[in-house]
Copies of this chain bind each other. A is one copy, B any other.
């Protein structure tokens, strides 16, 4: 219990994750309204769009309009995602509104890379070297290394800490060659394989080896384990998590349609709040944003808390 952080940062990825996977089309104004609702909750990091090929991801054909449309709130970092030079250029056009920072993104499972990106390990490394150079050439800082499939892979099975170490070492090499110092490591349970013991094992091993790297966990709730996995990470002192409001996003790798996507932001926020960990988030406003997201996508989202309602609201009702 002593390693619990006093404050946790929740990186909201709901707009980007959600509107990418929903069948849509979803009006641009709805996307903008959700971003603005989220920025009013106290969230400090919101990923608002994906600069990807409109042919591949029609749901993000309006990325520019969304980024141009939200009302920037002071103290909130708005981010976007891109995978190549064309995407980077589109993001750079919004440097006044977006926090444009670069990542090195690798997979701990080569099988996943092959399936998801059609690249082997060497191909990935080459792509990341090129992307890092492009970021630096554009004056975009590169501080973060993200490792996908850090707990398991639907195409190769268990992923061991040793495999994750290899991917981290690859990423650190790319950074060193480019002369940049990474400060943050994000470990992603991309396909929902993590369990609390695996979280403790991996976080413990990574911490012991790279004590200076700050950790972020990107958890998926594919099998209902995300909140328990977050608890295990909190106990290890992890203080930064990606999440999506309502659990927006779904999972293209689940056994059945309709599986939850990322850990729901409001469930993570409630876990923290009830355990005395500060998040800076107005939980009821975040739940309200989740209901808004449900109205936008036109179906219930997987978050239980959207239906259960917060204890904060319950206490307020009793005090009234």
Contact = CB atoms under 8 A, between A and B. Distances in A.
Interface of A: 1, 152, 154-158, 192-193, 195-198, 200, 221-225, 227-228, 230-232, 251, 254-260, 264, 267, 270-271, 274-276, 300, 302-311, 313-315, 318
B270 A223 contact: yes
Contacts of A276: 197
Closest A-B pairs by Cβ, 4 of them: A255-B309, A224-B304, A195-B274, A223-B308
A79 to B, nearest CB: 26
B225 A307 contact: no
Contacts of A308: 192, 222-224, 251, 254-256, 259-260
Identify the interface centre among A152, A225, A259, A310: most chain B CB within 10 Å of its CB.
A225
A232 B4 CA distance: 14
> Chain B CB within 10 Å — which of A271, A275, A308 has the most?
A308
B311 A275 contact: no
19 contacts: A1-B197, A154-B314, A155-B318, A193-B311, A196-B271, A223-B304, A223-B305, A224-B303, A224-B305, A225-B227, A227-B227, A228-B230, A255-B307, A255-B308, A255-B310, A256-B307, A260-B304, A260-B307, A302-B304
Given A231-B231, A309-B254, A271 B302 contact: no
Nearest to A318: B157
A152 B255 CA distance: 36
Given A223-B308, A259-B308, 4 more contacts: A197-B275, A221-B304, A223-B310, A224-B270
Nearest to A310: B223
A73 to B, nearest CB: 27
Contacts of A195: 271, 274-275
Nearest to A111: B318
A267 B224 CA distance: 6
A95 to B, nearest CB: 37
A257 B306 CA distance: 10
Given A227-B228, A271-B225, A311-B223, A156 B305 contact: no
Contacts of A305: 223-224
